[in-house]
A and B are shown apart, each in its own frame.
Chain A
């Protein structure tokens, strides 16, 4: 029931925030913050619950009672559609990240959004609700429902509050996700019908559908439907073009949500659904998926280096970073899976922070062009120091979370596929190249000839700094003491790992 409440609180918060706009323009963001506060408390209780065993429940993936929290309510029994929610360690980490970055997003929109702030907060909260729903749904129909719920409000956030090219960007975002979502819907329905043909039961239940007998080719095509939907979201090469435009044009809060959380739904979907539902197709797709991930790492980095638009640079760096996640998922051993989860969380923090910085700069200079910046450190030293921290995090400095993720992914991938690892490791070099040039062009050096800074540029104040410090502490924590995260994710990943038949050395040999 607590999971349902978590989603309801976010939906309700959005509605109340919209209504509050009618009373006072300042209220909606406070309303959002209040409801997010409640959600945070709920998530905190989930983290803090006294649990059986040492920490989190270990058990078989298919054993429903082994889940940390679950909820069941019969929705459309005729087609076997239920409101079935469940939370395990992986979902918990993702939900925690979602709610936390939700707060960050609200704070980052604090002084930026003047136009219809209530409706803005409504969309923001509904996106969050959709994302949380995605992370806890164990019914494929419900999952698809939430998948769509998070899409529409995000589309509106970009289309209404975006920058100069918002129509193009939001339409591109919508088409990419919608078309790929349709592929997934077809795959879901086919799976359900095939399951019905063999068992005579209609069901969208995740646990029932696991282990559905599929012929090799059918399994592969259905898997591809899921795979494309999730890889578009991730975004993996070559499905990334929507990302750069959407990120660049989106208002800061939407960029934070997009990069911080929405991309992770793709990775989550791959781990939760694509691989376990179609284990035999996994072996076929794995080398290609890793190759796509590697291509993303390098290609994204090359694109990032060339950009002069600060937000676009960060957007392409996301393509590069999420490439490691894709590699990690399809290398599918304990190191890479833990590394991928860690990378998802760390990337959520570091990229959200960088987008906030980009947004703050744009708010002050009315430009994202780095050719019109330079020497900003002198003007805003606090912002400069914070930017340096996150730039360093993003280029994978040991001691910060991103390094742990990338190192584990690469080390684990080396065990299964050395050429992939060698090429992907080049991403460590290119990350340094584009990150440091971004720092140089914005905060270091001298203002360029085109730079025209308004008098008395405002450095970060207490509100922004406190959010930033939270994320800095988070990254340090992930980098220096990542074990709690591993412990939470481990039972889930270990179960997934035994569930699919690919942890065996034979598989290792086949790709070596």
Chain B
């Protein structure tokens, strides 16, 4: 059974091929069935494989389809490596992916005609295939193929409505910014190959503790980290993700919340042996995580676009995963990756329902009082936000707490940063819930409303995700312990644990007092000049877009525009040609046709020549 694991990416690939070659010809229901069905089949195979894997004592397995290329000692295969970590990722990708695909079959916001319908599912299927290659590849080259593939699909789906140039710009930004990270990662691959003559992950990790011909584990780990921060939208490459919200909401749920953006977490977890050899790099991972999670949480606090709030929240939550990796809480990081996939997909799909019902309104300040009118969305949001805020006994609580506890073991400062982030997370997530679903109604939702108005294909995925968002953590950390080294030391149960659990509750209460009850007035704070500056600063996400524009984009545009006509090089050749032409005109003026002039020139020339000869001798 496990040998058939290669079928998992094949199904969505087949779905892509069918849908893409028949664009505009397949009627909507069939295209939807192919699109969702292919991922469903992949999920069935993935879960069966997982069952067999657990039954067989969890021994890792490599399945090789063929040797991709063989140049000298470089022979990466189209090979899949399956262990606990791979399977967790496969479950998330195919499981959550299937739910989102099913949801999408009814997403009336996405489709207007058959062509768009097929194209949407084609890209989504291609994404699932590429994402599976990323997590299943047994060598870094195959992983890189999946890595670039998901980037491509992300580009295609962010710019799905490419009629609008703004969407195209967002899509390009996402691709180019992540490619900066990818290039660093490629250099990391070169360095690893130079030292160990292989890109197969398991042998590579085994050899990494040996001697390095050139460079060091630290350098390699930093280069890999470069790739990870690009794809996972962490400092300093996180600027693309908020713009990526230009894509349809199911895309945001699948790619920009549940799966692709966590690829960096997977990559570091997969190469954790390397990071253990490079303590400096691992500390950098933790710091990147903490700083990013705080920056993004503050930004989320002041946003007004419902999808941008969720986008910054995603950046912030991935920051927790990085923090986990940085403090060697490997399993907890993957655990949080999984629970985050549940509750963030839920939040995005819920947001999609809200946005659709309100005529594509994204501004939460124009929403309100939707609790009764959109009960499905309300409960989705309430549960999703509770899990996001790590409300006790939701999935997010179980996964976030061990991260913070382990962070405390490493450094109380990391713990404090994470805890502050958890506090802000609780505030912004319930700010969202209270503003959108409580209070007075500011925009009338379109019919149909109520539970009966939600199609089953939309309601059932939401329901399942609700259940997962609550219970996803009840069974403890997923069975990936065999992949990672044991976390050393016992967690202190005492005061630290109570504080860690309690702070989010304080945040929720605070959000209640400010945004719903109104008893706590913060206008004095927000109206002060410092408050305004801070608000604007946070609203622009710490002015990072401005900074990058000034540092990179504008100079690049200026230089290229300056040299558009290749004046730096071509002017040399054109100048040569112009000089030749000029000399030509000068000399041609001597061709006067006047005999006297010729005779005089000859005489003069003779005189000069004789003079020179005499002078020389």
Interfacial residues, chain A to chain B (CB-CB below 8 A): 172, 237-238, 240-241, 244, 299, 302-303, 305-307, 334-335, 338, 375, 377-378, 381, 385, 392, 397-399, 403-404, 407-408, 410-411, 414-415, 421-422, 425-426, 428-429, 432-433, 436-437, 440, 444-446, 480-483, 486, 512
Contact = CB atoms under 8 A, between A and B. Distances in A.
Contact of B569 (A241, A334, A437): A241
Given A381-B115, A411-B189, A446 B183 contact: no
Given A241-B566, A436-B176, A335 B186 contact: no
29 contacts: A241-B573, A302-B560, A302-B563, A303-B563, A306-B560, A335-B72, A338-B71, A385-B20, A398-B144, A410-B190, A411-B190, A411-B193, A414-B190, A421-B190, A422-B187, A425-B183, A428-B179, A428-B183, A429-B179, A429-B180, A433-B172, A436-B172, A436-B176, A440-B165, A444-B162, A481-B68, A483-B67, A483-B69, A486-B70
Contact of B564 (A306, A411, A429): A306
B160 to A, nearest CB: 11
Nearest to B159: A444
A305 B149 CA distance: 23
A482 B69 contact: yes
B23 interface: yes
B165 A238 contact: no
B559 A429 contact: no
B145 A398 contact: yes
Interface in B309-344: none
Given A241-B569, A335-B72, A445-B163, A425 B186 contact: yes
B186 A445 contact: no
A446 B165 contact: yes
A187 B187 CA distance: 39
B570 interface: yes
Considering residues A307, A408, A440, which has the most beta carbons from chain B within 10 angstroms of its beta carbon?
Answer: A440
Nearest to B67: A483
Given A238-B572, A299-B569, A428-B182, 16 more contacts: A238-B569, A241-B569, A241-B570, A302-B560, A303-B564, A378-B163, A399-B149, A407-B186, A411-B189, A414-B190, A428-B179, A429-B183, A432-B179, A446-B164, A481-B66, A486-B70
B561 to A, nearest CB: 6
Contacts of A425: 183, 186-187
Contact of B187 (A421, A440, A512): A421
Nearest to B571: A241
B200 interface: no
B428 interface: no
B183 A433 contact: no
Given A381-B115, A411-B189, A432 B71 contact: no
Interface in B253-270: none
B162 A436 contact: no
B563 A306 contact: yes
A510 to B, nearest CB: 15
B175 interface: yes
A172 B172 CA distance: 36
Interface in B148-196: 148-149, 152, 155, 159, 162-165, 168-169, 171-172, 175-176, 179-180, 182-183, 186-187, 189-191, 193-194
B560 A305 contact: yes
Contacts of B115: 381
A170 to B, nearest CB: 14
Considering residues A244, A433, A512, which has the most beta carbons from chain B within 10 angstroms of its beta carbon?
Answer: A433
Nearest to A487: B70
Contacts of B570: 241
Contacts of B23: 381, 385
A305 B561 CA distance: 9
A440 B564 contact: no
A480 B68 contact: yes
Q: For chain B, give the interface size range.
A: 35 or more
Give the 7 A-B residue pairs with the shortest CB-CB distance, closest first: A398-B145, A414-B190, A306-B560, A444-B162, A306-B564, A241-B570, A445-B165
Nearest to A444: B162
A335 B74 contact: yes
Contacts of A398: 141, 144-145, 148-149
Nearest to A398: B145
Interface of B: 20, 23-24, 66-72, 74, 78, 115, 141, 144-145, 148-149, 152, 155, 159, 162-165, 168-169, 171-172, 175-176, 179-180, 182-183, 186-187, 189-191, 193-194, 214, 556, 559-561, 563-564, 566, 569-570, 572-573
Nearest to A440: B168
A397 B152 contact: yes
A299 B189 CA distance: 25
Contacts of A481: 66, 68
A421 B214 CA distance: 15
B148 A335 contact: no
B566 A404 contact: no
A412 to B, nearest CB: 9
A512 B67 CA distance: 30
A375 B71 contact: no
A80 B556 CA distance: 55
B20 to A, nearest CB: 8
A148 B384 CA distance: 72
Contact of A432 (B20, B168, B176): B176
A377 B160 CA distance: 12
Contacts of B159: 444
Nearest to B186: A425
B71 A486 contact: yes
Contacts of A403: 148
A302 B172 CA distance: 17
Contacts of B556: 305, 433
A421 B194 CA distance: 13
Contact of A399 (B70, B145, B175): B145
A403 B556 CA distance: 25
Considering residues A306, A335, A446, A481, which has the most beta carbons from chain B within 10 angstroms of its beta carbon?
Answer: A306
A432 B24 CA distance: 29
A303 B560 contact: yes
B175 A432 contact: yes
Contacts of B183: 425-426, 428-429
B560 A445 contact: no
B229 to A, nearest CB: 15
Given A241-B570, A432-B175, A486-B69, A397 B148 contact: yes
B564 A307 contact: yes
A168 to B, nearest CB: 10
A403 B179 CA distance: 14
Given A302-B563, A303-B560, A410-B186, A335 B191 contact: no
Given A397-B148, A445-B168, A415 B176 contact: no
Contacts of B78: 480
Nearest to B147: A398
A393 to B, nearest CB: 11
B172 A240 contact: no
A437 B187 contact: no
Given A303-B564, A414-B187, A335 B71 contact: yes
A410 B163 CA distance: 36
Nearest to B215: A418
Contacts of B152: 392, 397
B500 to A, nearest CB: 41
A440 B560 contact: no
A302 B555 CA distance: 12
A285 B155 CA distance: 41
A305 B564 CA distance: 8
B251 to A, nearest CB: 17
A253 B570 CA distance: 25
B162 A377 contact: yes
A509 to B, nearest CB: 11
Contacts of A445: 162-165, 168
A493 B98 CA distance: 48
Nearest to B171: A436
Contacts of A433: 172, 176, 556
Contact of A414 (B182, B194, B559): B194
